[in-house]
Every structure is written in structure tokens, then in C-alpha cells.
Amino acid sequence: MIAVYPGSFDPITYGHLDIINRAVNFVDTLVVAILNNPAKKSLFTVDERKRHIQILTKDIPNIKVESFSGLLVDFAKENNANIVIRGLRALTDFEYEFQMALTNRELNKEIETIFIPTTLNNLFISSSIVKEIAEFKGDISKMVPNIIEEELKFRYGSK
Ligand code: PNS
């Protein structure tokens, strides 16, 4: 079973890594798919985000890190994947995630979405909150791995 784990990953957080580490236990291959969307302002380039994820998942044998543009279902098909993995945090994620899952299924009936509930510790972590805290020099050490923390500090000029 090949599964795709799509997202913006700008930057990757402990929340994402938790989902990755759990998903690789029940799929044959997990393709982490970074959305390349020039219309969406991002802090890190797609290549930087790809490098972050590659470094942080280097010990996982059944993982691939790719970027994609266009429709997720088309990327999944090109990679012979019929599963989409998404993490779920609080109830506030649900409506958006449900809409995406139903849309993707409408676009391709062969693709199923599997939701993985977050680990309690990661309930309040999101890439946008991490960036906001980093911008104002707050402590993000419990939200992102050290290399991401360092890169964020560098970006926001506290080094
Ligand atoms: O981490 P994010 O930003 O919540 O991830 C959103 C993502 C990348 C999964 C979603 O925007 C996506 O799949 N975009 C590709 C375009 C697409 O397929 N749209 C139709 C389904 S909503």
C-alpha cells in the first residue's frame, strides 16, 4: 500500500513528524508531498522544506519526499498511491478536512483518506503558530525539531 501525506510543511513540526512516524508503520511506502503553490506566500522554499523533511526522516526506510503542484489526486495516481493520510487535531480541523476528503473522493473514487488523530502533546501545534511565536522570539522548542528552530531564528533575525 502506497500512501501520500500532503501538506504545506512550512515548516514541518513535531505534529507532522508524529503523523509520519505512525503512518510508516502501516503503509508500505509513504510519499510526503509538499504542495508547490506560488500563489500562497511561504516562509521556506519548496526545496528548503524538502531538505528539512529529508533530514528529519533520514532513518525511515519506507519514505519518499516529493513536491507537487496541481491536484493531489493526480499526484497520488502518478505515484500509484490510493491512500491520502491527514492528521486531525481539534474539532476545528474537521470541516476543512472533511470537505477536502469528500472533494478528493469525488475527483477519484479509488482514493481513500485516512485520518490519524494527533498525539495529545501536539494538539495546539501548527506551522503558522510556530512562525508567529518565532517571529516574536518566543519558545518553540517543544513544537519543532532543533534544526527548524535554528532556521526560524535565523530567518527572524535573532542570530
Ligand atoms: O498543510 P495544508 O496547507 O493544510 O495542506 C493542504 C493540501 C496541500 C493538502 C491541499 O491544499 C491540497 O491537497 N492542495 C492541492 C490542490 C487540490 O488537490 N485541491 C483539491 C482538494 S481540496
pLDDT digits (tens, 9 = 90+) for 82-101: 999 999 998 778 999 999 99
Q: Is the residue at 93 inside a domain?
A: yes
Range of the domain at 66: 2-122
| Pocket of ligand 1, beta carbon within 6 A | 6-8, 35, 71-72, 100, 103-104
The pLDDT of residue 157 is 84
Neighbours of 143 (CB within 10 A): 24
The DSSP result for 61-108, as a single string, is TTEEEEEE-S-HHHHHHHTT--EEEEEE-SGGGHHHHHHHHHHHHHH-
Q: What is the pLDDT of residues 13-37, one digit of tens each?
A: 999 999 999 999 999 999 999 999 9
Mean pLDDT of 92-118: 95
Structural domain total, the chain: 1
Residue 16 lies inside a defined structural domain of this protein: yes
pLDDT at 93: 86
What is d(CA 12, CA 158) in angstroms, rounded to the nearest whole number?
A: 20
In a domain, 68, yes or no: yes
Protein residue closest via CA to atom 10 of ligand 1 = 7
Output the CA 159–ligand 1 centroid distance in Å: 33
Asked if the structure places residue 147 within a domain, the reply is no
Asked if residue 128 is part of any domain, the answer here is no
Q: Any residues with CB less than 8 A from the CB of 94 and at least 6 apart, and which?
A: 88
Phi and psi torsions of 25, nearest 5°? -75, -25
